[in-house]
Structure 1
Amino acid sequence: MSSATPSPRPSAARPDDRLASAFRFAVELLAWVATPWALAAYSVPLAVLSVVVLIGLPTVFSTPGDKRHVVVAVPGWVTIALVVLHIVAAVVAAWTVWHAVVAGVVTVLGVVTVVLELPRWRWLLSR
């Protein structure tokens, strides 16, 4: 009787997310602009800190296999949380500082980004 150990489940290929990454980048840009704009009315240092956090965290923390260069490896759920942070920041800040029509467009962009991100998020959760 041989005691064969089951082989590890092969890693699924990373889904093609070129369209999702374009929407994700648009939301990131909106978050980088709208968030400090919204916070500047309360505190300029807080506005600056928001940009440092929104740009710095995804630059430093990433899931292996999701980016070519990983500075600090984190599980997939952390990468997902960073994307959600950007979406929420963009939408909330847009409703705070911009006209309702523009904020509505940002909200729709955020929802579309979530829908397009779902295959990547499933893949990230398997990491």
Structure 2
Amino acid sequence: MPSTPRPDDRVASAFRFATELVAWVATPWALAPHSVPLAVLSVVVLIGLPTLFSTPGDKRNVIVAVPGPVTIALVLLQLVAAMAAAWAAWPVVVAGAVSVLAVVTAVLELPRWQWLLTRRARASAS
């Protein structure tokens, strides 16, 4: 069975990166008043997990290979963290804008997520 090429996600990746940046800033900002160690840990988790774990074919440098659903879950973690932390830490207008950014990112990610899921199905069928 021929493999489906990875979808072009240049636009989606720009939105994904913007949302990741928001998560990396907003999450420790929201957590720091309660626990500085937890705020630091949140940054380590939000940056470290996607750096360490990735799906072969989705990234050039794979440190620890994981199936597509894990990559999707890591992106969802970033999206949820960005939205939840923005609502906890920032004014409503900014949190609303972050929520719109996260929803647009998720919609733009759908072709990539479908590709990641079909890669998993093909890999398990082989």
**Paired residue total:** 119
Higher-Rg member (1/2) = 1
- 1:46 paired residue number: 38
Percent of matched pairs sharing the same residue: 77
Alignment pair present for 1:104 and 2:83: no
Q: 1:29 aligns with which of 16, 21, 24?
A: 21
Shift in Å, 1:83: 0.3
Q: TM-score, normalised by structure 1?
A: 0.93
Structure with greater proportional helix content: 2
User: Unpaired segments of 5 or more residues in structure 2?
Assistant: 120-126
User: Unpaired segments of 5 or more residues in structure 1?
Assistant: 1-8
Secondary structure of the structure 2 residue equivalent to 1:126: helix
- 1:116 paired residue number: 108
Q: TM-score, normalised by structure 2?
A: 0.93
RMSD: 0.4
Q: 1:12 aligns with which of 4, 7, 11?
A: 4
